[in-house]
């Protein structure tokens, strides 16, 4: 088990997720801690989130606009510099060349040293929602983009004509679903994470609008119990 004590080395960070709300639920306290340590944090949200409400009456465009507004509010709470919406169809993400290109474009645009993204395959010892197929697709595509595409001038060469020079990410942090090796003390950042989650009003269902879903605190207390923190987020760290 390790903790990341040198937070000042993460100058620019890109968080790549499938849906609006994923950054806050998965990484909210870590994002708040990175921003508090001086990092510039940027989001790339791959899908439009249009399947993310139970009410069948609004159009996909209306739902996507609602979820984008909520995501911008949540990002502002955490101090995120910018949110890029890639606008791909919710529920239809696949880890092929199109998604890899879209993510590689954001890596070259923002030039992060650290990338946070989803776990790249199904994990069967957790609730099935943790392995939403869009999450798995984005995790796999983001890893491929970071390791194969963003840093190669021969991958998607048309980006060179757009002024998007190759860029290599130094580290990737994945959710610590299996063999986590990095534990982040989230205790001092729970209020910020909670405030950001509550911006996603469309995702809170019939629960208390002033409280995040109970599983968030339970999960983070469980992670913290294994490393001596009251609340924690954990990761599998990959050095490139």
Could you read off the pLDDT of 127-159 as tens digits, one per residue?
888 889 999 999 999 999 999 999 999 999 999
Say what the pLDDT of residue 206 is.
73
Q: Which residues contact 59 (CB under 8 A, 6 or more apart)?
A: none
Q: How many domains does the chain fold into?
A: 1
The b/e string for 210-224 (b: 16+ C-beta within 10 A; e otherwise) is eebeeebeebbeebb
22 falls within a domain: yes
Give the pLDDT of residue 5: 59
- Whole-number Å distance between alpha carbons of 228 and 3: 11
Whether residue 227 lies inside any domain: the answer is yes
Listed as ranges, residues in the chain with pLDDT below 50 are 1
Q: Residue 2: inside a domain, yes or no? A: no
- Give the CATH number of the domain where residue 235 resides: 3.40.50.10320
Phi, psi of 116 (to 5 degrees): -110, 130
Domain region containing 198: 7-239
Query: Per DSSP, what are the bridge partners of residue 42?
Result: 14, 82
Burial class (CB in 10 A: 0-12, 13-18, 19+), 89: middle
Residue 160 lies in a domain: yes
Neighbour-count burial of 169, counting CB atoms closer than 10 A to its CB (0-12 exposed, 13-18 middle, 19+ buried):
buried
3-state secondary structure at position 38 = coil
173: which 2 tokens? 């942090």
Single out the residue of 49, 42, 55 nearest to residue 70, CA to CA.
49
Residue 149 lies in a domain: yes
Structure tokens at 178: 């299996």
Residue 38: CB partners within 8 Å, gap ≥ 6? 7, 8, 11
Residues 206-236 pLDDT 10s: 766 778 899 999 999 999 998 999 999 999 9
Q: Is 1 part of a structural domain of the chain? A: no
Determine the pLDDT at residue 146: 97
Q: pLDDT at position 3, please?
A: 58
Give the pLDDT confidence score for residue 131 in this predicted structure.
84
- What pLDDT, on a 0 to 100 scale, did the predictor assign at position 8? 78
Q: Is residue 197 a part of any domain in this protein?
A: yes
């Amino acid at each position: 088990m390790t903790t990341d004590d040198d937070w000042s080395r993460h100058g620019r960070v890109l968080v790549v997720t499938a849906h609006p709300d994923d950054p806050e639920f998965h990484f909210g306290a870590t994002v708040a801690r990175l921003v508090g340590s001086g990092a510039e944090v940027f989001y790339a949200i791959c899908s439009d989130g249009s399947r993310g409400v139970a009410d069948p009456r609004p159009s996909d465009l209306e739902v996507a606009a609602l979820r984008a507004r909520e995501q911008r509010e949540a990002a502002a709470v955490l101090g995120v510099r910018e949110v890029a919406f890639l606008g791909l169809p919710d529920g239809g993400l696949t880890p092929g060349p199109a998604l890899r290109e879209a993510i590689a474009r954001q890596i070259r645009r923002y030039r992060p040293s650290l990338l946070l993204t989803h776990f790249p395959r199904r994990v069967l010892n957790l609730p099935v929602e943790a392995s939403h197929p869009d999450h798995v697709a984005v995790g796999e595509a983001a890893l491929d983009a970071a390791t194969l595409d963003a840093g190669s001038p021969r991958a998607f060469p048309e980006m060179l004509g757009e002024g998007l020079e190759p860029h290599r990410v130094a580290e990737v942090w994945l959710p610590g679903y299996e063999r986590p090796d990095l534990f982040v003390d989230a205790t001092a950042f729970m209020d910020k994470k909670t405030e950001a989650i509550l911006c996603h009003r469309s995702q809170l269902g019939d629960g208390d609008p002033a409280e995040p879903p109970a599983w968030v605190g339970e999960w983070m207390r469980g992670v913290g119990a294994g490393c001596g923190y009251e609340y924690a987020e954990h990761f599998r760290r990959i050095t490139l």
